[in-house]
């Protein structure tokens, strides 16, 4: 028996003289329910309308979404679905509404509700779950905003007219705050400048996480020992560079997801005729994302809302990344001074009244040869004299300071004769 038939049965039995208590007990309802529908029947002049339920919706709703806005949302989704390479979620629809000139953009949950009521939503297709390889790798847990940045590069992409560019994307793991830059030349020094520019807007992190692209980590073999400009910039600013394992891009899952959003929701949704216009619209999209895109990881808050009340650590806009390692001229001059000082010390030792008799024992391995041209035997005598130094000279058991150590690349003076292999030390 349907609900309407139960109401008709309750009214019929009540009109026949049965008590509301007996009717309610037999039909599984309350006496209040029985009296309600009896009163509704008595007040109604139409025999067919009283049995139907009345709407409880308010007669006037000031926050109700306008029909025009609802039509714009559905039309924007239809345009996005028509493009097989475009996303059509709430964020993509918001960006599409902004592109067509809508001023008051509805929030994402309102868009989701409109799509659900219109019956145009699709079940989300999820890929198979990740299967662990049981390889231990440090992964951050409960990352605070501003502590870890994941950085990746998208490209090359091309505009009409064969204009090529790359997008350097950065996402803060703790807040999903995004920042990026359009790079027209893929050179490590330019990437370091772009990264410094992004950090001047979003702040400097404690850890910067990259993949193993050579423009990030530095040179490839045989130059793999050299730091690249990106690593040099991180070390110069006190940032710890972290590189994910090779061929495991899911370690940078946060920025990889943003790469997909940037590519489908922004770059492929419009035709850009120049790099300047691309950069202008890209800046607007990043600001739009940080303001409107809400993440379930933050309880539905947007990146800017996560940062409300928190202090960032922006980089000085005048900062310039290091372009070279410290010069070797200073170390060579220090080594030359050390050799000159050792020669002077040995000369003073030979003329000082505190000089001890020349020893006939083999010289120390730390002896410094004399610069005066002489025979091998004379050179050996000068070397022996240097080992028996007075109190103000370095003892052979003392540890020399770093600036006294000669550089291995410094050539010995041409006047110093090399020891002959048949000479007896």
Q: Check residue 65 and give its pLDDT.
A: 82
Check: CB of residue 177 under 8 Å from CB of residue 150: no
Kindly tell me if the per-residue pLDDT of 341 is higher than 60: no
Kindly tell me if the per-residue pLDDT of 32 is higher than 60: yes
Mean pLDDT of 385-391: 39
How many of the other CB atoms lie within 10 Å of CB of 35?
A: 15
pLDDT band at 31 (very low <50, low <70, confident <90, very high): very high
Query: Coil, strand or helix: which one is 189?
Result: helix
* Separation between Cα atoms, residue 256 and residue 384, nearest integer Å: 67
Helix pair angle (376-387, 329-351), 10° resolution: 90
Task: Give the start-to-end residue ranges of the domains of the chain.
Answer: 3-43, 67-118, 148-306, 368-425
Query: Coil, strand or helix: which one is 150?
Result: strand
Mean pLDDT of 280-300: 87
Q: What is the mean pLDDT of the chain?
A: 76
* Separation between Cα atoms, residue 285 and residue 91, nearest integer Å: 11
Closest CA to 165 of 179, 181, 188: 181
How many of the other CB atoms lie within 10 Å of CB of 251?
A: 16
Task: Compare 125 and 115 and report the one with higher pLDDT.
Answer: 115
Helices in 152-226 by DSSP H: which ranges? Answer: 188-202, 214-217
Residue 313 φ/ψ region, left for φ over 0, alpha for ψ in the -120 to 50 degree band, beta for the rest:
beta
- 35-51, pLDDT tens digit by residue? 998 898 888 766 777 88
Give the rounded distance of the alpha carbon of 17 from its chain centre. Answer: 77
pTM over 0.85: no
- Does domain 148-306 fall under CATH 3.40.720.10? My reply is no
Q: Check residue 198 and give its pLDDT.
A: 96
- Strand (E) or helix (H) holding 418: none
Closest CA to 271 of 158, 124, 403, 391: 158
Q: Check residue 138 and give its pLDDT.
A: 66
């Amino acid at each position: 028996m349907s609900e309407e038939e139960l109401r008709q049965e309750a009214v019929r039995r009540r009109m026949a003289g049965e008590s509301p208590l007996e009717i309610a007990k037999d039909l599984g309802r309350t006496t209040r329910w029985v009296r309600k529908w009896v009163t509704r029947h008595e007040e109604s002049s139409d025999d067919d309308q009283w049995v139907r339920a009345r709407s409880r919706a308010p007669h006037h709703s000031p926050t109700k979404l306008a029909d025009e806005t609802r039509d714009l949302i559905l039309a924007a989704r239809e345009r996005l679905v028509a493009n097989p390479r475009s996303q059509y979620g709430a964020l993509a629809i918001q960006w599409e509404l902004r592109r067509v000139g809508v001023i008051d953009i509805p929030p994402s949950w309102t868009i989701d509700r409109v799509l659900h009521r219109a019956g145009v939503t699709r079940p989300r297709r999820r890929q198979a779950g990740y299967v662990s390889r049981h390889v231990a790798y440090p992964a951050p847990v409960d990352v605070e905003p501003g502590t870890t940045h994941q950085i990746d590069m998208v490209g090359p992409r091309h505009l009409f007219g064969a204009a090529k560019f790359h997008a350097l994307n950065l996402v803060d793991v703790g807040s999903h705050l995004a920042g990026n830059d359009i790079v027209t030349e893929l050179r490590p020094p330019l990437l370091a400048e772009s990264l410094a520019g992004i950090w001047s807007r979003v702040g400097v992190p404690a850890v910067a996480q990259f993949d193993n692209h050579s423009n990030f980590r530095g040179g490839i073999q045989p130059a793999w020992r050299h730091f690249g400009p990106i690593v040099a910039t991180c070390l110069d600013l006190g940032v710890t560079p972290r590189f994910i394992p090779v061929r495991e891009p899911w370690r940078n899952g946060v920025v990889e997801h943003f790469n997909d959003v940037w590519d489908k929701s922004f770059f492929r949704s419009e035709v850009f005729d120049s790099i300047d216009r691309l950069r202008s619209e890209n800046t607007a999209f990043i600001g739009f994302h940080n303001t409107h895109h809400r993440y379930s990881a933050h309880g539905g808050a947007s990146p800017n809302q996560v940062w409300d009340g928190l202090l960032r650590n922006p980089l000085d806009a005048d900062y310039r990344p290091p372009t070279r390692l410290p010069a070797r001229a200073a170390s060579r001059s220090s080594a030359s001074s050390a050799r000159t000082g050792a020669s002077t010390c040995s000369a003073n030792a030979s003329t000082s009244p505190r000089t001890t008799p020349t020893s006939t024992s083999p010289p120390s391995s730390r002896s410094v040869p004399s610069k005066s041209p002489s025979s091998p035997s004379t050179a050996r005598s000068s070397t022996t004299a240097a080992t028996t130094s007075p109190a103000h000279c370095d003892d052979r058991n003392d540890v020399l300071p770093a600036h006294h150590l000669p550089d291995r690349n410094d050539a010995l003076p041409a006047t110093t004769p090399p020891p002959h292999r048949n000479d007896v030390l």
